[in-house]
């Protein structure tokens, strides 16, 4: 580019073997570093997606990646970080989205 700046990377299409799962995590999952820990776990696994608190006290996440890695993330979600007390995790199939990385989103 003429100004010497690189363009931001475009969101790439999910891999052909990618799946998407939306999770709703119930229990004591807010105020215990759940979102930050989920972001770190997703990054470790190389997943795309997001995590956010919900005003009803749950945490919601979208995980996109290969089946085995998404299943590993779902298994982690049942435990969460040390101070979390997960009582239930609902898992739903979701549409694949073109996302880059995994991020924390604002509460809804």
Show contacts of 47-50: CB within 8 Å, 24+ apart: 47/73, 47/102, 48/14, 48/97, 48/99, 48/100, 48/101, 48/102, 49/20, 49/97, 49/99, 49/102, 50/99, 50/102, 50/103, 50/104, 50/105
Q: What was the pLDDT predicted at 36?
A: 97
Residues 26-57 have pLDDT tens digits of 999 999 999 999 999 999 999 999 999 999 99
Which pLDDT score is estimated for 92? Answer: 98
State yes or no: is 53 an active-site residue: yes
Instruction: With cut-offs at 50, 70 and 90, classify the pLDDT of residue 17.
Output: confident
* Predicted TM-score of the model (pTM): 0.85
Instruction: Please say if 35 is a catalytic residue.
Output: yes
pLDDT higher than 90, residue 5 = no
Out of 24, 35, 88, 105, which one is annotated catalytic?
A: 35
């Amino acid at each position: 580019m003429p100004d010497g700046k690189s363009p931001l990377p475009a969101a790439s299409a999910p891999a052909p073997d990618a799946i998407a799962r939306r999770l709703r995590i119930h229990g004591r999952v807010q105020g215990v570093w759940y979102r930050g820990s989920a972001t770190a776990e997703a990054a470790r696994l190389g997943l795309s997606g997001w995590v956010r608190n919900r005003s009803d006290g749950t945490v919601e996440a979208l995980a996109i990646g290969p089946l085995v890695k998404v299943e590993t993330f779902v298994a982690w979600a049942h435990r969460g970080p040390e101070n979390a007390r997960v009582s239930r995790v609902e898992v739903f199939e979701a549409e694949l989205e073109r996302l880059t990385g995994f991020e924390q989103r604002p509460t809804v």
